[in-house]
Amino acid sequence: MTNKLIKTIAALAAVAVVTGFGQFSQTANAQELELVIGTGSTKGKLFAAGSAISMASVLQGKGIKVYNYGTKGGKDNIKRISKKKRAINFGLVTAKDLSKAKAKQLKAISGLMALGKSKGETVLLIVRNKAPKKVDKGAYAAAVAEFVRVLKSGKSAEMIKKHWAGFAPSSGAADFKAAGVKLHKAAIM
């Protein structure tokens, strides 16, 4: 009987986590904002890097928690950032993915930085322009800036490089400009 009760509670907890995953909310602390980064296939290196990025945001960030979300890749990340129903806040894409995006999609995103190389291509980090529901625009902008700060820190770099040897943050401004994507105010320059 006790085992059955424990299994039921564990199953309910798992369901709560899965259904809450991808939802944007402010936690009990009014300053803490939960955001989601779309990385790629759960079997790929970028998903593992996304998990390390998520851990770094929790350990090194102030007022933010960034959760990793497995997607179909860069094109899917662009769709999810630009649509309300399948929304994520951040996405990993390549310049090739951005060059194939529609003009309407490009208006919904901004560029933050180049994160490094994967399979010979530069991996770029993009962000959704619109703040999540019930989140102040200023608070959202501050959370994005804090996330960029975390990614630039040495401690975060050590954590992420253990999972993705190609992690090397840089501007990526030329790639964003070539694709017609505006840079976010918090972008690395």
Q: What is the DSSP letter of 182?
A: P
14 or 71, higher pLDDT? 71
76's CB contacts (< 8 A; 6+ apart) are: 38
The tokens for 185 are 């105010």
**Mean pLDDT of the residues in the chain:** 86
> Residue range 23-49: average pLDDT?
77
Query: In this model, does residue 12 exceed pLDDT 90?
Result: no
In angstroms, the first-to-last Cα distance of the chain is: 60
Q: How many CB atoms neighbour CB 4 within 10 A?
A: 8
Concatenating the DSSP letter of every residue in 144-168 gives HHHHHHHHHSHHHHHHHHTT-TTEE
Q: What is the pTM of this model?
A: 0.82
Calpha distance 86→83 (Å, rounded) = 6
Phi, psi (degrees; rounded to nearest 5) at 73: 125, -165
pLDDT in tens, 114-165: 999 999 999 999 999 999 888 999 999 999 999 999 999 999 999 999 999 9
For the chain, the residue count is 189
Calpha distance 23→65 (Å, rounded) = 12
Query: In this model, does residue 26 exceed pLDDT 70?
Result: no
